Structure 1
Amino acid sequence: MPYPPYDFTTHNATNPSSLFVRDFKTRVTPNETQRDTLIVAGVYIIAIAILWHVPFLKVIIYPFKLLTVGFHEMSHAFAGVLTCATIHSIELDPDEGGATRMSGGIPWVTLPAGYLGSSFIGACLIACGFNTNASKVASIVLAAFFLFTLWWARRNWLTWLLILGMSGIIVLFWFVAGGVALRYLVLFIGVMSCMYVLWDVIDDTIARKVNTSDASAFADICGCCPSRVWGVIWLIQAFVFFGLGVIVGLVSFKQNKEQQQADSSRFLPVPGASSGALGLAPEWSALFSIAGMLSAVLLS
């Protein structure tokens, strides 16, 4: 008895792996709001790359450089706490450097934690930058991060100035355009944190512009690979974290602008936002706020 022809198309359509791939492609395809966010992130990357290396203009992103250095040092400190180290202090200096002084712990964990932690924080902030409510949550987490940093860096005046200034900016942007400006700020800080890892690893490890670095110290205790190899490995993981942050943002936050605005009005709403005083042209208000902030930093 002849068998009926087998329909491979139907089989492939119901194949779990095929359905997963198709669903994943659908979920990572950006909608209009997400495309706008990706464009803004791309502009951030170009602007940061230019401002990072152009004399006199680099002062515009100077406070954010110090903030990313703070992320780096705080990651060392958290890794130290998790490995039972005693954290003595966190220090930031005006030359965009920093140091975490600790005793004990496991160097195999604490040394790479600086770049790994900065990349992870940046990826989380990038993902949250796709949604207004997620950016609000990220701001609250940043506030907790600031408190821990102040405890360990309470004797460092530069850290106090940096955290007080950043806290003021976050609060200000929370009130602009119903939180839209805050979303772009969180996205900028996330991109900045990931870019910091890229440039710092290249400067300190691959290009060898400094004599000592986390990679060289890690290479000394590891012994199997030179510092440049570890620098390349950390560079690759920074790209991976950046990509994962974008993917998580695309998959998790599919709301359009109107949906985000409605959700934001119900979650930690801005007082008086319902009056519409801050609701007109939220994207323009957000961009003007960011431009005004950068201009103030430059003029100061």
Structure 2
Amino acid sequence: MAPIHTHIAHILLSRRSLAVNSTQKVTLGVIAAYVVLIALLWNLPYVRWSLWPFKMLVIAFHEFGHAITACCTGGRVKSISLDPREGGVTQMQGGISAITLPAGYLGSSLIGALLIFCGFNIVASKFASIVLAVCFLLTLWWARRDWLTIITVLFAVGLLVACWFIAHAEPLRFVVLFIGVMSALYSVWDICDDLILRKVNSSDASVFAQKYGGSSQCWGVIWSIISLVFMAIGIVAGIAAFPQSFSQQEDDSKHVIPTR
């Protein structure tokens, strides 16, 4: 059995790893500001269109969740299309609907949580942007005949590439954070918008309820709670994994896939 002082040291180290430093406080403040800003812009008439490019990205994540789970469960993706008013549509053949139906909301929430985690650090944001690019290219392949999707994906790739070359990619992590917050909370906002405010009859939750029982509101609430849990885990993990200051992050970024 390990000495008692070893256990005490381990406990102290664990507590220290979750202590929030000044840099992380700034990051948490930015996340909180993003939540408030996006919540306001999401619901205000006319002004909500300012979120349109990022909303299209999040919808693309949603459809990517449907598509990738369809492929993983023996299905085939015919096409993906995005619509700024009606959302997105993934045409699939086969697959396990019990997995593919919730995978849109939960997939975008999981991606959002991972982006929030990476958004605590510049180098992690660099790697996250590379993974995002791969996801975008897959989405682009499935949506190669939908011009709105193509423009959205090209906008996203252009934005990420541009951020790489500004102050050693320091702005990149704030862009990654913004996309992460939108994606993590997309299910909450969209389910509220569809099932509570607009009472849309056709949605992933309503189709799931028809197939497997329960109500669309019930499944929507469950998926929203899971999304919030994903987001909380992403934040806690980011605090534990990335205690570096802004200057330390910038120095690290200079040596990992360096840019000017």
TM-score, with length taken from structure 2 = 0.94
Contact 2:185 2:228 (C-alpha < 8 Å) held by counterparts:
no
Task: Report matched runs for 1:1-300 at 5 Å.
Answer: 16=7, 22-207=12-197, 209-223=199-213, 225-270=214-259, 273=260
Contact 1:206 1:231 (C-alpha < 8 Å) held by counterparts:
no
Letter in 2 for 1:188: F
Contact 2:105 2:186 (C-alpha < 8 Å) held by counterparts:
no
Letter in 1 for 2:118: C
Give the gaps of 5 or more residues in structure 1.
1-12, 274-300
Contact 1:69 1:96 (C-alpha < 8 Å) held by counterparts:
no
RMSD (Å), alpha carbons: 1.7
Q: Deviations over 1:81-138 (max 9, x none)?
A: 1101011001101315110001111001100101110110000000000000000000
1:78 positional shift: 0.5
Give the gaps of 5 or more residues in structure 2.
none
Percent of residue pairs identical:
49
Check 1:267–1:73 CA distance in 2 against 1; reply closer, same or farther (3 A cut).
same
Between the aligned partners of 1:103 and 1:236, the Cα distance in structure 2 is 29
Q: Which stretch shifts more, 196-205 or 212-221?
A: 196-205
Contact 2:23 2:246 (C-alpha < 8 Å) held by counterparts:
yes
Contact 2:119 2:125 (C-alpha < 8 Å) held by counterparts:
yes
1:55 positional shift: 1.5
Between the aligned partners of 2:206 and 2:145, the Cα distance in structure 1 is 28
Letter in 2 for 1:165: F
1:206 positional shift: 4.2
TM-score, with length taken from structure 1 = 0.82
SS at match of 1:102: strand
Aligned residues: 258
